[in-house]
Amino acid sequence: MSSKSFNPFEMAQAQFDKAADILDLDQPTRDLLRNPMREYHFNIPVRMDDGKMKIFRGFRIQHNDARGPGKGGIRFHPQETVDTVKALSMWMTWKCAVVDIPLGGSKGGVICDPHNLSMREQEAICRGWVRQLSKDIGPLTDVPAPDVMTNAQHMLWMLDELETIYRQKLPGFITGKPVGMGGSLGRTEATGYGVVYTLREALKELKLRPENTIASVQGFGNVAQYAIKLYTQLGGKVICVSCWDQNDQTSYTFRKDSGIDVEALAGITDRFGGINKDKAKAMGYEILPGEAWIEQDVDILMPNAIENQITGANVNKIARRVKVIAEGANGPTTPEADKVIQERGIFLIPDFLANAGGVTCSYFEQVQSNQNYYWEKEEVLGKLDVKMTSAFLAVSELARKRKLYMRDAAYVIAVSRVAQACRDRGWV
């Protein structure tokens, strides 16, 4: 998650403050949008498999719901902090606004390590999380989804618990469900594909053909794998990926100059995105330190892991060849690093635009669940492409027109939409 010296919420607030200054927002609007509207902190008692009771700490932060029900994932992570969840809830507000879907921003989490929990214990945490929040979440209020170290099974347990409490079928309460149980086709691919849809448009703007580019990717979870798949389908080549090794408690970069084989690597990857180091080495991969992904002589960098990965300490290690950074992760770049990236003229696709494919498809799933009518995969991905492309073009046009950094342009669009919704409701 985040180091003790790095506070993601302070970073999120600083990014908002910059946009607020550009927009010349009045003080009441700044005060309203700078902090979450509601925070829930609670304990989840769980009887463990050994018979002992253990208390887990859970959170749900609802940043703003002026444009619609809250939307945002639930993370299970041993280093989860409330400041991380608060930052992510704020970023979700801007993410939904920048792609213009009628949802607000929320985020949830539990301090736990699924690596060390049985499936029964994980189920108990999921059901306990819902019980603590059942009066304050729901299909018309706040809609959760999977995030770091949570998956479709966790979502289904949560849905079942809420439906048990209310004695109703409420499939629109949660997204990321298994297909066949109210989940949407295309949801698995959505975030990674969304990153590449925006990358494709950026390359067009820079007059670069995908087949003439190579990339380095941080992360090898769901987002990274599907981003790599679509990028290579467009003709690009990924020469390395970096991921966390649960056994060694460190990260490694797996490099192959001829290009990585995403399907082969996926075959030796655990469910948390960790690649088997020995098997990768046997397949001809060079094993480098985890931070080596950022130093590669490539055209494109895709930080697709967690926050605080491109910082003032390592931004100058980015090769001169790099032309595009596509942020698949939430908050991977600090403001200090942003300044250097902007000065160097690297085209940055900001996180809450680049990775908005996930929440966009979650919105599609919510709509389908509420209607009890489901679309074919091609329709879902087609709608996703249209939404992501439109959002990118709007941000890019504003950036050119007002000579803004892409992140600032995306913030201006998102914050202005949310601020207007708050004004229209009479909140400010």
| pLDDT tens-digit series, residues 294-352 | 999 999 999 998 778 899 999 999 999 999 999 999 889 998 999 999 999 999 999 99
**pLDDT (average), residues 54-61:** 98
pLDDT of residue 2: 47
What integer pLDDT is reported at residue 4 of this predicted model?
A: 54
- Residue with structure tokens 């109703």? 168
* pLDDT tens digits for range 19-38: 999 999 999 999 999 999 99
Q: What are 98-115's pLDDT values in tens digits?
A: 999 999 999 999 999 998
Q: Residue 60's pLDDT is what?
A: 98
Assess contact for 77 and 1: CB atoms under 8 A: yes
C-alpha pair distances (Å), 385 with each of 199, 371, 389: 12, 22, 6
Confidence of residue 44 (pLDDT cuts 50, 70, 90): very high
- N- to C-terminal Cα distance for the chain? 34
Find all residues with CB under 8 Å of 225, minimum gap 6, and list them: 192, 262, 266
Computed over every residue of the chain, the mean pLDDT equals 94
Q: What is the pLDDT of residue 250?
A: 85
pLDDT at 278 over 60: yes
pLDDT one-digit tens code per residue, 177-188: 999 899 999 998
**Dist CA 334 CA 308 (whole Å):** 6
| Radius of gyration, CA atoms only, the chain | 21
Domains of the chain: 34-179 (3.40.50.10860), 188-349 (3.40.50.720)
Query: Given a cut of 70, is residue 3 above it in pLDDT?
Result: no
What integer pLDDT is reported at residue 221 of this predicted model? 87
**Contact indicator for 227, 219 with CB cutoff of 8 Å:** no
Q: Give the whole-number percent of the chain exceeding pLDDT 90.
A: 87
Instruction: Please give the positions annotated as active site.
Output: 107
Size of the chain in residues: 428
Residue 245 forms beta bridges with which residues?
A: 250
In this prediction, what percent of the chain has a pLDDT beyond 70?
99
Query: Is the pLDDT confidence value at 367 over 50?
Result: yes
Q: Is the pLDDT of residue 388 over 60?
A: yes
Q: Contact 129/58 with Cβ under 8 angstroms?
A: yes
Whole-prediction pTM value?
0.91
pLDDT (mean) for 397-422:
96
Residue 212: the pLDDT is 96
Q: Which residues pair with 43 in a beta bridge?
A: 57
**Is the pLDDT at 249 greater than 80, yes or no?**
no
pLDDT, residue 330, reads 85
Residue 419 has pLDDT above 90, yes or no: yes
Instruction: Please report the pLDDT score of residue 274 as a whole number.
Output: 84
* Predicted local distance difference test score (pLDDT) of residue 307: 77
